[in-house]
Structure 1
Amino acid sequence: MSSLVQRIARQALLTFRPPQWSSSSTAEEAGRLFQENQSLLHSLMSEVSAQDLRLTPRTAASSGRPSAFAPPVTYMHICETDHFSMGVFLLKSGAYIPLHDHPGMHGVLKVLYGKVRISCFDRLSEEPPGAPYTPPLSGLLRLSLLRSSGEYGPQSGPCVLSPEQDNLHQIQALDGPSAFMDILAPPYDPDHGRDCHYYTVLSEGQAAEPPGPQGPPGQQVWLQEVPQPADFWCGAEPYPGPPVFL
């Protein structure tokens, strides 16, 4: 019998690989099929646990203290195709993945152990009435909406993002180390316009201190594109779980 990780990978491929349509197929039919497959993928991701990936939950003592020589975040690569990538991120206690975007990409994130706070933003295409002040700063600015900010644990459902909604997000480990399984579709690819950009939240012309951002959902904020923060980098570890074949 296939492992749950194998079934998730196959469902991700069905969900994000462009379907072969006849000339009589319609955009409505394509959209309906995508929604059905995405719902199945969401259900499978809701079931996955650290045990399914043969991960042993780490403690603050076992993960060690962040230092100048130890990455605050590590990544376990599971598989990648032209249509999606799948892996596991491990965050040390107090570590965070800075606010960043996923240009033109879908994503599904499921916490395996520990607890994280995920803050999600939407870009606003034009300045609506009641928009916040315009910062007198140079550089790339994006008016955005803080759509949600909440805590997720192993019992929580997946966090889902799309090219239009929740596409920018930040993830912070709370109360100890944490890990989450991550699917991105299609994968990052700078040659095709899918590079990762980092942002900071501006408040009256000043950048918010990490880990930011704070405020109620629905709040409009200015985001400024910034270089990758100096205190964030990602290491790599071998994936210990069942192999995936596609």
Structure 2
Amino acid sequence: MMPCDSNMTSMVQRIARQALLTFRSPPRLGEEAGRSFLENHSKLQSLMTEVRAADLQLIPRRGAAAVAAAAADSTPAVPSPLLPPLPPVTYMHICETDHFSMGVFLLKSGASIPLHDHPGMHGVLKVMYGQVRISCFDRLQGAQHGALQGAQHGALQGAQHGALRRSLLRSSAVYTEHSEPCVLSPDRDNLHQIDAVDGPTAFMDILAPPYDPDDGRDCHYYRVLREAEEEQQQQQMKEVWLMEISQPPEFWCGSEPYPGPEVHL
């Protein structure tokens, strides 16, 4: 007897098919349409909870110090010309359609993906190895402009008034490969910052629909002007002011080949 299709199909292929089923018909008004989207989205989250680095043929990477020590033990020191710095973050492209994109971000030890948004987009993020701290923010509707008091007013000099956003720091938590996915929607947890914790890390990422500046889905970066209190419970929301900024010069993203199973849609 031939094995059934579910046994032959790779995990990443199953995730891609479910993502297409979930996002090719965006949620619409109406109870039935909304229920269908939520059911499909729940199935996608369940698959993302199960996926592991081995399913994508990812090999967890060691920290820079361990790599350097191993190299020093195995090879003699040889002078070499100066090389340009490696990007702090790289991306493995898996697949992309008009409805969603899927890939893997790899962060070096100590690297961060700065606070940024996903205009009108859904997202699902699952750690493959290592640890990341994800800080999620929500915009406060109807509160895009305003003024800060005291010393922080100086931080606004030269900033465009319209670039200010009053927001809520909804959560800040550490995720590992054993954690459930981090999920964002167009109006909840849509702004987030991702920091590698205690070594290199990688996470699988689905965005729906993909970024497209020509269709109003460009990535914007932000800086927190008023920090939340350090000592606070994870679930306690804290109001903050965000200022839109250019892409930070210390952050850029390179690319590298994806080693896992091919996806066919």
TM interval, shorter chain, is 0.7 to 0.9
Aligned to 2:14: 7
Q: Is 1:120 the equivalent of 2:136?
A: yes
Larger relative helix fraction: 2
Aligned residue in 2 for 1:177:
200
Are 1:163 and 2:166 an aligned pair? no
Runs of 4+ that moved beyond 6 A: none
- Cα offsets for 1:147-190 (capped at 9, x unmatched): 00000000000000000000000000000000000000000000
Q: Which stretches in structure 1 are left out of the alignment for 5+ residues?
A: none
Verify the 8 A CA contact 1:114 1:179 in the aligned structure 2: yes
Letter in 1 for 2:38: Q
Deviation at 1:15, TM superposition (A): 0.3
- Aligned residue among 47, 53, 56 for 2:56: 53
Going from structure 1 to structure 2, the CA distance change for 1:163 and 1:49 (only over 3 Å counts) comes to same
| Structure 2: distance between partners of 1:176 and 1:63 | 12
**Structure 2 residue matching 1:144: 3-state secondary structure:** strand
Provide closer, same or farther for how the CA distance between residues 63 and 10 of structure 1 changes in structure 2, counting only shifts above 3 A. Answer: farther
- Secondary structure at the aligned position of 2:205 is classed as strand
Q: How does 1:197-236 map to 2 (within 5 A)?
A: 197-203=220-226, 216=232, 217-236=236-255
Aligned-pair CA distance for 1:126: 2.9
AA in 1 matched with 2:56: L
Corresponding residue to 2:94 among 78, 86, 94: 78
**In 2, distance between residues paired with 1:185 and 1:98?**
20
RMSD over aligned Cα, in angstroms?
A: 2.4
**How does 1:100-115 map onto structure 2 within 5 Å?**
100-115=116-131
Letter in 2 for 1:15: T
Q: Is the 8 A contact 1:122 1:147 kept in 2?
A: yes
| Contact map agreement 1:118 1:170 (CA 8 A) in 2 | yes
What is the one-letter code of the residue matched to 1:104? Answer: G
- Report what 2:36 is aligned to: 33
Q: Check 1:170–1:49 CA distance in 2 against 1; reply closer, same or farther (3 A cut).
A: same
C-alpha displacement at 1:18, in angstroms? 1.4
In 2, Cα distance between equivalents of 1:146 and 1:132 = 18
Question: TM-score under structure 2 normalisation?
Answer: 0.82
Identity of aligned residues (%): 68
Residue in 2 aligned with 1:150? 173
Deviates more, 1:217-226 or 1:192-201: 217-226
Aligned counterparts of 1:82 and 1:124: Cα–Cα separation in 2: 29
1:63 deviates by: 6.7
Structure 2 distance, partners of 1:132, 1:71, is: 36
Q: Partners of 2:24 and 2:103 in 1: how far apart?
A: 18
What letter matches 2:256 in structure 1? E
Deviations 1:17-62, CA, capped at 9 Å, x for gaps? 017x9xxxx7211100000000000000000000000000000137
- Between the two proteins, the alignment pairs up a number of residues equal to 231
Structure 2 residue matching 1:70: 3-state secondary structure: coil
